[in-house]
Structure 1
Amino acid sequence: MTEPLVCVRDLRIGATTDSGRKVEIIKGVSFDIAPGEIVALIGESGSGKTTIALSLMGHARPGCAIHGGTIRLGRHDVTGMTERQRAALRGTEVSYIPQSAAAAFNPSKRIMDQVVEITSIHNLMPRAKAEAKARELFRALALPDPDTIGSRYPHQVSGGQLQRLSAAMALIGDPQLVIFDEPTTALDVTTQIEVLRAFRSVMGQGNMAGVYVSHDLAVVAQIADRIIVLRGGVVQEEGTTEQILTAPAHAYTRQLLDAFEPVPHVAAPKTGAQARPILQVDNLCAGYGAIRNGEPAAKILQNVSFRLERGRNLGVIGESGSGKSTLARAIAGILPAYRGNIQLDGAELKPDLAQRSKDQLRRAQIVFQLADTALNPAQSIETILGRPLTFYHGMKGAKRAARVAQLLDMVHLPNALRHRLPSELSGGQKQRVNLARALAADPELILCDEITSALDTVVAAAILDLLKELQRELNLSYMFISHDLSTVEAICDDVLVMLKGRVVEALPAARMSAEAVHPYSRLLISSIPKLDTGWLKGLEQDPELIALFARR
């Protein structure tokens, strides 16, 4: 029998809260990983999956410490090593691919310098050999221009390319174990497929073992040999990927699987062609950079037109760079459009939000993707929610405090959280606060920009349910921007498909999968991961889809 590469026994990790109380967050976890095997750790936010994965490198987050159990990596006793000895393992025997590749790269240094840096730190090989090996990895990871992409800066490549470059950085030291920490969570479905295919190919060629941290069972199904289901720092279930997907034994695993089957959205009735829409956009053009001859240096949106009826929801889907978020920012006035017209309930909106009335600003609110960056980390939740109450409604004192309590209740958060900072909340709680801040204005239209893409499946489903509930109670309309068609179908009445700044298809959401005719729409539909271990292999064998990938 082959000796395991990784052997974890009775792992216990504790944390110290802000009040000084000690709590155990990983409670006696044990598992093995064989050489060449990929094991997925799945569970909702706070389940301990990333904490466990980081511990395999001997690393604990600030305020946390490994206080029990053992971790063996090959011949090394990771828990018994000094920090200096652990540092010698990182990048050579174990490496890490983060969720946010953008945060992993230094924006002021060229990509090649950063990819080969670990070979210099550990004296693994001469610089020329390291660069040659990096170019081999770039080819293996299906990166464009593998001989020259290393000369670029991080901002000069796409998100999907940067994620694969972070993999090259992790793999250049020939590690035995690679830790993938939700590396495709924020990617659009087509880019996600390219990244998954590249990861799987390179791992197979190098016979490397892997730990894949994710909340997305459909993604895990394409890359993992075994799955460990975690909740509250405890293993709920462990088995082969096929077994977990087809015959889950634990109720929590079944709950995770059920979250992939959202309740179909019941479309709101159309109000008729003559009714005045809450939002109408005609021939909108927007971009970035200096304006010359009436046009920006980089033109993104090109003649986008649509209407959103009151009480209905419009989904906008497309890959990264298609113009979805630019459209939301142009409608909100954050990025002034240079051509076209925007009307809110029949009244024209000026391109720049600084030129709009306070009432126009109040009626159309935007909720951003990352609550971590959208919420001021130095302000309490009460202050964050109170500011729009004062700005739009002049509320102060007891009246404002009472309304803050109502807003927290509306998004199903306890009033006791009002005195906390954003850093003291979970990802799902922060997104609810983000939504409550928009609701504080008492809007009629909310622009939701990828607000569930960074959340685990169970929490994302809860946020969608909350949005539906608020819509029923407050008669809201949503423009829901996403790269996930299944999410859009769960909440939207109509869908716009965007590619390279243009609308290429518009259909009712309920008919999207069956009636879409544009090749790119069909590609998006086909790219939604399935809870099927053979889905990605089947896609790779479909010549029509492969041709669509190449042309897009």
Structure 2
Amino acid sequence: MTKPVLEIRNLRLELEEPFEGSRPIVSDINIKVHPGEVHALIGESGSGKTTIALSAMGYVRPGLRRASGQVFLNGTDLFTLPAHALRDIRGNRVSYVAQSAAASFNPSLRIGQQVTETPREHALMSAAEAMAQASVLYQELRIPTPDKIARRFPHEVSGGQLQRLMAAMAMISHPDLIIFDEPTTALDVTTQLSVLMAFRDLIKKHNTAAIYVSHDLALVAQIADRVTVLLNGEIKEEAGMSALIAAPKHEYSRILMAAGTPSLDCAHPGPTADFAEVPLLKLQGICAGYGPIGPSGQPAYPVIRDVNLSIEKGAVVGIIGESGSGKSTLAKVISGLLPAARGAMLIDGKPLTPRVEDRNKEMVRRIQLVSQSADTALNPSHSIEKILGRPVEYFTGLRGRGRRDRVRELLDLVSLRDDLMDRRPSELSGGQKQRINLARALAAEPELILCDEVTSALDSIVRNSIVELISQLREKLGVAMLFISHDVSTVSRIADTVAVMHRGLIVEAGPAGRLLVNPEHPYTRLLLNSVPRVEMGWLERAYAKVQLDQSALSDAMEAFRTA
């Protein structure tokens, strides 16, 4: 067998300033990665995946120290090298593809200049040779218009294209090892599928060793040869990918298997309200977008067009679609953050004021928005008590002990301990922060909550717990919800009815049990066929189906335009 490109031996990383009862961040880590092999590191948030992956670059995060262990790249222990030697290796012999491509690119520089930076800076090839090599990679990664992409700026391409361009940047110097750190987490299912296919083909073609960090076993099953299962910084199981799927040995591996297996079972009993009553919210012919409104009532840059939707009291309506379909814009229109250019909104049969600033306190109370990123939604300088106490005081008038008691009740509602009240958001996990985000909306005692991709950035285990919490709150409080997601399997677990959005239109809507099992529109079929499964060989089969779905979708949208 060939020698490993990467070998991690007995790695142990600890806090620089340990406290009583503190544990190692990672311990007893032993991993080998061979040429052409993809080795996955999988586990929930905080399991040590990224910390281990970064050590493969000879990097230890600030606040940590290496207590013991070695990391060999082609036989050289990276931790024995001086800083200038490590700089020569990083980005050259070892490349890194981060989770957020948007945050990794310089918005003021053209894409071609950034992709070719490493070989130019390391004098590996001339500028002309680097541009030619980049052009080849653009084609191998299936990037549209590869002859024009280099002249564009990062904001001029989609998220999926930008993620593939990061891979081109990482591969251009022909590294021995490439590290993929959750590279498709923020992408919708259809984009995720094509990006994953492009990554896998590129790795095999160039015989590059790769580490793939993920919390999603269904994704890992499509690209990895071997997998290491991590929990609390320790290896619980290591096996070939097919062996792990066939017979996981550790209980935690089985939990990850269950969490990563999508289900389209729509077994929710549905709301108890009488659907013959006037719906809680009704949208009629809503058009919205950005820029000046034209004579026809259309904005210069339309995002959603002629949307009709009803939300019954106590019901959960799921909205699914890929990025750019108009899902979040619809939530902004309902919440009053983006007034519709045309159409009507009715609440209990009465007109709903388009602008949130023109709504009275009672109207604001009735409709609450829970945004996607709890990190940006929660003030980092405020305690949890202050974050939740402000809406409590505003909507209920409670102060002092009454306000504090209500904050305790809200924490209990979202299954959090009241000893978190004095902490700040940075001291909480991702799942805890999203629960606080939800509790803040509940402080108003709303009748409708707009959940905008509230589980998209969470690992599969935490995501399942948040979905279960939302289901419990719906049953306990009788609150209606608009649940927006690109994750079809998540929507199927919680929604009574589902509306599918594509290019600003609702192309199909109906009861979840019917629509997700027997879809009629080709775009709905495309979404369903793109949901990853914990099966070897699923990616090839799914990719072939999606090509047929996309062809049928093009025909359907052309028929709509000419109708």
Deviation at 1:540, TM superposition (A): 3.3
When normalised by structure 2's length, the TM-score is 0.95
One-letter amino acid matched to 1:39: H
Distance 1:291 1:99, change over 3 A: same
> Would you say 1:544 and 2:548 are equivalent positions?
yes
Deviation at 1:292, TM superposition (A): 4.1
Deviation at 1:352, TM superposition (A): 1.1
Which residue number in structure 2 is paired with residue 37 of structure 1?
Answer: 37
Which residue number in structure 2 is paired with residue 282 of structure 1?
Answer: 284
Assess if the C-alpha contact under 8 Å between 2:47 and 2:230 holds in 1. yes
Q: Where does 1:64-79 land on structure 2 (aligned, <5 Å)?
A: 64-79=64-79
Deviation at 1:83, TM superposition (A): 2.6
Distance 1:19 1:10, change over 3 A: closer
Deviation at 1:357, TM superposition (A): 1.2
Q: Alpha-carbon deviations, 1:30-58, whole Å to 9, x = none?
A: 11111110011111111111111111112
Deviation at 1:289, TM superposition (A): 2.4
Instruction: State the number of aligned residues.
Output: 552
One-letter amino acid matched to 2:505: R
> Would you say 1:325 and 2:332 are equivalent positions?
no
Q: Secondary structure at the match of 1:275?
A: coil
Q: Secondary structure at the match of 1:514?
A: coil
Q: Secondary structure at the match of 1:24?
A: coil
Q: Where does 1:229-268 land on structure 2 (aligned, <5 Å)?
A: 229-259=229-259, 260=261, 264-268=266-270
Q: Where does 1:264-413 land on structure 2 (aligned, <5 Å)?
A: 264-269=266-271, 271-293=273-295, 294-413=297-416
In structure 2, what is the Cα distance between the partners aligned to 1:500 and 1:478?
23
In structure 1, what is the Cα distance between the partners aligned to 2:553 and 2:423?
46
Distance 1:549 1:167, change over 3 A: farther
In structure 2, what is the Cα distance between the partners aligned to 1:267 and 1:508?
12
Q: Secondary structure at the match of 2:25?
A: strand
Distance 1:466 1:270, change over 3 A: closer
Q: Secondary structure at the match of 2:91?
A: coil
In structure 2, what is the Cα distance between the partners aligned to 1:61 and 1:441?
40
Assess if the C-alpha contact under 8 Å between 2:492 and 2:516 holds in 1. no
One-letter amino acid matched to 2:518: E
In structure 2, what is the Cα distance between the partners aligned to 1:501 and 1:387?
35
Distance 1:279 1:151, change over 3 A: same
When normalised by structure 1's length, the TM-score is 0.96
The worse-fitting range, judged by mean Cα deviation, of 227-236 and 15-24 is 15-24
In structure 2, what is the Cα distance between the partners aligned to 1:17 and 1:523?
51
Deviation at 1:549, TM superposition (A): 7.7
Q: Secondary structure at the match of 1:419?
A: coil
In structure 2, what is the Cα distance between the partners aligned to 1:514 and 1:17?
54
Q: Secondary structure at the match of 2:517?
A: helix
One-letter amino acid matched to 1:9: R
In structure 1, what is the Cα distance between the partners aligned to 2:235 and 2:22?
21
Which residue number in structure 2 is paired with residue 120 of structure 1?
Answer: 120
Assess if the C-alpha contact under 8 Å between 1:523 and 1:548 holds in 2. no
The worse-fitting range, judged by mean Cα deviation, of 51-60 and 288-297 is 288-297
Q: Secondary structure at the match of 1:515?
A: coil
In structure 2, what is the Cα distance between the partners aligned to 1:20 and 1:157?
49
Deviation at 1:235, TM superposition (A): 0.5
In structure 2, what is the Cα distance between the partners aligned to 1:137 and 1:65?
37
One-letter amino acid matched to 1:68: S
In structure 2, what is the Cα distance between the partners aligned to 1:87 and 1:395?
57
Q: Alpha-carbon deviations, 1:359-411, whole Å to 9, x = none?
A: 11111111111111111112221111111112212222221111111111211
Assess if the C-alpha contact under 8 Å between 2:522 and 2:549 holds in 1. no
Unaligned residue ranges in structure 1 (runs of 5+):
none
Deviation at 1:61, TM superposition (A): 2.3
Q: Secondary structure at the match of 1:194?
A: helix
Deviation at 1:440, TM superposition (A): 1.0
Choose from 437, 442, 445 the match for 2:440.
437
Q: Where does 1:129-208 land on structure 2 (aligned, <5 Å)?
A: 129-208=129-208
Q: Secondary structure at the match of 1:70?
A: strand
Deviation at 1:521, TM superposition (A): 0.7
One-letter amino acid matched to 2:282: Q
Q: Secondary structure at the match of 1:524?
A: helix
In structure 2, what is the Cα distance between the partners aligned to 1:79 and 1:297?
56
Distance 1:302 1:261, change over 3 A: closer
Distance 1:507 1:18, change over 3 A: farther
Distance 1:440 1:17, change over 3 A: farther
Q: Secondary structure at the match of 2:107?
A: coil
Assess if the C-alpha contact under 8 Å between 2:266 and 2:512 holds in 1. no
Distance 1:352 1:208, change over 3 A: same
> Would you say 1:59 and 2:59 are equivalent positions?
yes
Q: Secondary structure at the match of 1:340?
A: strand
Assess if the C-alpha contact under 8 Å between 1:267 and 1:312 holds in 2. no
Distance 1:377 1:18, change over 3 A: farther
Distance 1:17 1:469, change over 3 A: farther
In structure 1, what is the Cα distance between the partners aligned to 2:36 and 2:372?
36
In structure 1, what is the Cα distance between the partners aligned to 2:527 and 2:292?
33
Choose from 494, 508, 513 the match for 1:510.
513
One-letter amino acid matched to 1:547: S
> Would you say 1:498 and 2:501 are equivalent positions?
yes
Q: Alpha-carbon deviations, 1:215-269, whole Å to 9, x = none?
A: 1111111100011100000001111111111210011111111223567541314
In structure 2, what is the Cα distance between the partners aligned to 1:480 and 1:360?
20
In structure 1, what is the Cα distance between the partners aligned to 2:272 and 2:408?
35
Which residue number in structure 2 is paired with residue 524 of structure 1?
Answer: 527
CA RMSD of aligned residues (A): 1.8
Q: Secondary structure at the match of 1:321?
A: coil
Q: Secondary structure at the match of 2:404?
A: helix
Assess if the C-alpha contact under 8 Å between 2:271 and 2:313 holds in 1. no
Q: Secondary structure at the match of 2:534?
A: coil
Assess if the C-alpha contact under 8 Å between 1:265 and 1:492 holds in 2. no
Q: Secondary structure at the match of 1:395?
A: coil
One-letter amino acid matched to 2:548: E
Which residue number in structure 1 is paired with residue 561 of structure 2?
Answer: none
Assess if the C-alpha contact under 8 Å between 1:16 and 1:23 holds in 2. no
Q: Secondary structure at the match of 1:441?
A: coil
Deviation at 1:462, TM superposition (A): 0.4
Q: Secondary structure at the match of 2:385?
A: helix
In structure 2, what is the Cα distance between the partners aligned to 1:16 and 1:282?
59
Unaligned residue ranges in structure 2 (runs of 5+):
558-563
Which residue number in structure 2 is paired with residue 99 of structure 1?
Answer: 99
In structure 2, what is the Cα distance between the partners aligned to 1:20 and 1:59?
26
Query: Matched residues, percent identical?
Result: 49
One-letter amino acid matched to 1:168: A
Q: Secondary structure at the match of 2:421?
A: helix
Assess if the C-alpha contact under 8 Å between 1:540 and 1:546 holds in 2. no
In structure 1, what is the Cα distance between the partners aligned to 2:413 and 2:267?
21
